């Protein structure tokens, strides 16, 4: 039998339906791959082998009765940010030490309803704060890609680094992820995988540990555009338990994948051509535009004039919301408790011991920008900038543009412990230069592998769409995936 872990979700669905193999065999193949690969990659923080075996058995029964759901028997990994009932849920933080929720997040419930099988919980940056997966309490995740001729470990991006690494290294068929400023799209781009951040409100945030509630969205990371569409169809949908979830029908996203781009207008924002942008990123972008043109799209130069304010405004809004959301971790209700001489002392000792450096930095920035006297100067202003950013996009879409093409990241994967980034958090923050605007405006964005850099590392392009028009993104991303035609699989060393 061929290696079952190499199948895409679409191929595995066909194989299961044709009874070429069972869900139990497929899950078994993944559990074996995790056992072999996880010590080197550190993508999983918890493996739920018994649960996976049970779920696969139930899927085989359903398949046998012809009652298969959309993802029946498909083994997936879950980012540690999603609440999973009775199972390790710590947002890769020490402060949630030992936390096992009493509830299941809506997005994961949707996946289980459709027959998906849970392999375990995936590593991530602590509370989803980071771009390299180095802020995790569980240590860094390793990218399955290495530069040609090098044995140096590279980061998989973040914060959904465990999701991206596990998908790329065949340790799950697909994974859930979340994106507040780029955390689905940047790790997808750095690992040769496909990641989509849906429109804000498309997926329920209920049961997902909150980072910055007005920006957070769940979405999938997968090995093909079609696989991402299949997962997103399952994950999406209105949820009365999340007041920002939008009551709209969920299209069959996979049906849109082969729609093509004939007649579409693709915008190219001039402000995304950054000073000092590497020539290979510029080349990739031009190639992407040529591919879309060759399939019948029209390319149009556009302007998004407030782009340069997006990253600074994000680093006010996101920490502000985080400082408020993370106030609940004080040693009383969840996870870690460090005893002190009185209750205030207990709060302080618990928070000092439970949060990592980056999380503390965000809490301090957030508390500062929300404090009396600074609130108007920082927070209120950042919200105004946010409105302007949103308006830039509205103007462009109202002017007839159907989707926007940009690079996904300013570079390929970098080294673990990269000194520049370790010493200067702002350098790390710049990883999200092309992705944060999309969160600020609440729009959907997809990252798709499009080429490789001179060292053989994957590079991605990003497509940004109109609100709730993820279908156009899937169709255009598929054109890029097909045209790039590349082999975006890592060479196995682990
Ligand atoms: N890298 C960004 C940050 O650190 C975005 C993270 C995310 O999208 N969760 O805030």
* 73 & 152 share domain: yes
Q: In Å, how far from its chain's centre is CA 314?
A: 17
| Catalytic hit among 93, 109, 132, 159 | 159
* Rounded distance from Cα 184 to ligand 1 centre (Å): 9
**pLDDT tens string 351-380:** 999 999 999 999 999 999 999 999 999 999
| Catalytic hit among 93, 109, 132, 183 | 183
For ligand 1, is residue 432 a contact (CB within 6 Å)? yes
Is residue 443 assigned to a domain? yes
Is residue 126 assigned to a domain? yes
Q: Return left, alpha or beta for 427; rule: phi > 0 is left, psi -120 to 50 is alpha, else beta.
A: alpha
Nearest one of 339, 360, 364, 362 to 349, comparing CA atoms: 339
User: How are beta strands 117-122 and 44-47 bridged, if at all?
Assistant: antiparallel
**pLDDT tens string 152-198:** 999 999 999 999 999 999 999 999 999 999 999 999 999 999 999 99
What pLDDT is recorded for position 264?
98
Q: How far apart are CA 215 and CA 438, in angstroms?
A: 9
Is residue 370 assigned to a domain? yes
What pLDDT is recorded for position 1?
52
For tokens 């200067």, the residue is 424
CA-nearest residue for atom 10, ligand 1, is: 129
Ligand 1 atom at minimum distance from 318 CA: 10
Domain assignment of residue 21, given as a range? 4-264+401-484
For tokens 């990739």, the residue is 284
Q: How far apart are CA 474 and CA 254, in angstroms?
A: 8
Residue that is last in its domain, among 382, 414, 440: 382
Q: How far apart are CA 412 and CA 64, in angstroms?
A: 44
Side by side, the strands of the sheet bearing 75-79 are 44-47, 117-122, 75-79, 174-179, 217-222, 194-197, 445-452, 458-465, 403-407, 265-269, 298-302
Q: Which residues have CB under 8 Å from 486's CB, separation 6+?
A: 449, 451, 452
* Rounded distance from Cα 56 to ligand 1 centre (Å): 33
* 61 & 155 share domain: yes
Ligand 1 atom at minimum distance from 129 CA: 4
* 112 & 213 share domain: yes
Residue 314 near residue 432, CB atoms below 8 Å: yes
Q: Which residues have CB under 8 Å from 258's CB, separation 6+?
A: 475, 478
* 317 & 197 share domain: no
CA-nearest residue for atom 5, ligand 1, is: 181
- Let me know if 83 is exposed, middle or buried by CB neighbors in 10 A (0-12, 13-18, 19+): buried
* 371 & 421 share domain: no
Q: Is 183 a catalytic residue?
A: yes
The values of phi and psi at residue 420, to 5°, are -55, -50
Q: Return left, alpha or beta for 66; rule: phi > 0 is left, psi -120 to 50 is alpha, else beta.
A: left
**Angle formed by the axes of helices 470-484 and 225-235, to 10°?**
160
- Let me know if 180 is exposed, middle or buried by CB neighbors in 10 A (0-12, 13-18, 19+): buried
* 374 & 407 share domain: no
* 210 & 247 share domain: yes
Enter the DSSP assignment of 295. T
Q: Where would I find the beta strands (DSSP E) of 6-55?
A: 44-47
Residue 63 near residue 23, CB atoms below 8 Å: yes
What pLDDT is recorded for position 487?
86
User: Which CATH number do you get for residue 246?
Assistant: 3.90.1300.10
HSE-CB at 117 with a 13 A cutoff on CA atoms is 37
**pLDDT tens string 2-29:** 799 999 999 999 999 999 999 999 999 9
* 452 & 330 share domain: no
Q: How far apart are CA 159 and CA 216, in angstroms?
A: 12
Is residue 290 assigned to a domain? no
Print pLDDT tens along the chain (494 aa). 579 999 999 999 999 999 999 999 999 999 999 999 999 999 999 999 999 999 999 999 999 999 999 999 999 999 999 999 999 999 999 999 999 999 999 999 999 999 999 999 999 999 999 999 999 999 999 999 999 999 999 999 999 999 999 999 999 999 999 999 999 999 999 999 999 999 999 999 999 999 999 999 999 999 999 999 999 999 999 999 999 999 999 999 999 999 999 999 999 999 999 888 889 999 999 999 999 999 999 999 999 999 999 999 999 999 999 999 999 999 999 899 999 999 999 999 999 999 999 999 999 999 999 999 999 999 999 999 999 999 999 999 999 999 999 999 999 999 999 888 878 888 889 899 999 999 999 999 999 999 999 999 999 999 999 999 999 999 999 999 999 997 899 999 99
| Catalytic hit among 59, 79, 109, 121 | 79
Total domains in the fold of the chain: 2
Q: How far apart are CA 318 and CA 85, in angstroms?
A: 27
Is residue 276 assigned to a domain? no
Task: Tell me the CA distances in angstroms from 180 to 231, 283, 315, 437, one per residue in order.
Answer: 19, 28, 11, 10
**pLDDT tens string 379-421:** 999 999 999 999 999 999 999 999 999 999 999 999 999 888 8
* 25 & 173 share domain: yes
Ligand 1 atom at minimum distance from 432 CA: 1
What pLDDT is recorded for position 486?
77
Q: How far apart are CA 75 and CA 360, in angstroms?
A: 35
* 27 & 148 share domain: yes
Is residue 393 assigned to a domain? no
* 22 & 150 share domain: yes
Number of residues assigned to the chain: 494
pTM summary value: 0.98
Q: Is 214 a catalytic residue?
A: no
* 245 & 344 share domain: no
59: its two tokens: 């899927």
For tokens 């946010």, the residue is 386
Write out the DSSP string of 236-275. ----TTSTTS---PPP-HHHHTT---TT-EEEEEGGGS-T
Q: How far apart are CA 297 and CA 287, in angstroms?
A: 13
Q: Is 79 a catalytic residue?
A: yes
Write out the DSSP string of 112-151. HHTT-EEEEEE--SGGG--SSS-S-TT-PPPPS---TT--
For the chain, report the end-to-end CA distance as a whole number of angstroms. Answer: 22
H-helix segments, 295-342:
310-325
What pLDDT is recorded for position 111?
98
Q: Is 63 helix (H, G, I), strand (E, B) or coil?
A: helix
């Amino acid at each position: 039998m061929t290696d079952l872990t190499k199948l895409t979700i679409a191929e595995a669905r066909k194989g299961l339906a044709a009874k070429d193999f069972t869900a139990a065999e497929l899950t078994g193949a993944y559990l074996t791959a995790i056992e072999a690969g996880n010590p080197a990659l550190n993508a999983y923080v918890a493996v739920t082998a018994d649960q996976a075996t049970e779920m696969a058995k139930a899927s085989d029964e359903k398949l046998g009765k012809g009652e298969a759901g959309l993802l029946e028997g498909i083994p997936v990994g879950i980012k540690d940010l999603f609440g999973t009932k009775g199972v390790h849920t710590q947002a890769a933080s020490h402060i949630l030490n030992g936390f096992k929720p009493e509830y299941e997040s809506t997005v994961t419930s949707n996946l289980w309803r459709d027959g998906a099988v849970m392999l375990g919980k995936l590593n991530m940056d602590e509370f989803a704060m980071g771009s390299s997966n180095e802020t995790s309490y569980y240590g860094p995740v390793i990218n399955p890609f290495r530069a040609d001729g090098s044995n140096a470990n590279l980061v998989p991006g973040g914060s959904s680094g465990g999701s991206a690494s596990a998908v790329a290294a065949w340790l799950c068929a697909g994974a859930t992820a979340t994106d507040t400023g780029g955390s689905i799209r940047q790790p997808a781009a750095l690992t040769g995988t496909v990641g989509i951040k849906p429109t804000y409100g498309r997926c329920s945030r209920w049961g997902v540990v909150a980072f910055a509630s007005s920006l957070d969205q769940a979405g999938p990371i997968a090995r093909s555009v079609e696989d991402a569409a299949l997962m997103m169809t399952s994950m999406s949908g209105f949820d009365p338990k999340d007041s920002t979830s939008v009551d709209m029908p969920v299209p069959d996203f996979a049906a849109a994948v082969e729609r093509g781009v004939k007649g579409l207008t693709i915008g190219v924002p001039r402000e995304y051509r950054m000073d000092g942008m590497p020539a290979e990123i510029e080349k990739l972008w031009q190639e992407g535009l040529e591919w879309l043109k060759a399939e019948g799209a029209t390319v149009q130069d556009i302007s998004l004039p407030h782009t340069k304010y997006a990253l600074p405004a994000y680093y006010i809004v996101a920490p502000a919301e985080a400082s408020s959301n993370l106030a609940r971790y004080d040693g009383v209700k969840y996870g870690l408790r460090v005893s002190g001489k009185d209750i205030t002392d207990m709060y302080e000792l618990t928070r000092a011991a439970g949060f990592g450096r980056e999380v503390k930095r965000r809490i301090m920035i957030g508390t500062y920008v929300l404090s009396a006297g600074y609130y108007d100067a920082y927070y209120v202003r950042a919200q105004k900038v946010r409105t302007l950013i949103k308006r830039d996009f509205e103007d462009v879409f109202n002017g007839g543009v159907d989707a926007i093409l940009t690079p996904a990241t300013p570079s390929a994967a970098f080294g673990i412990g990269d000194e520049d980034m370790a010493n200067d958090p702002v350098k790390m923050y710049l990883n999200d230069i092309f992705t944060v605007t999309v969160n600020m405006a609440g729009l959907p964005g997809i990252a798709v592998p499009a080429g490789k850099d001179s060292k053989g590392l994957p590079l991605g392009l990003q497509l940004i769409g109109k609100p709730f028009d993820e279908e156009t993104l899937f169709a255009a991303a598929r054109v890029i995936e097909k045209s790039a035609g590349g082999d975006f699989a890592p060479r196995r060393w682990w």
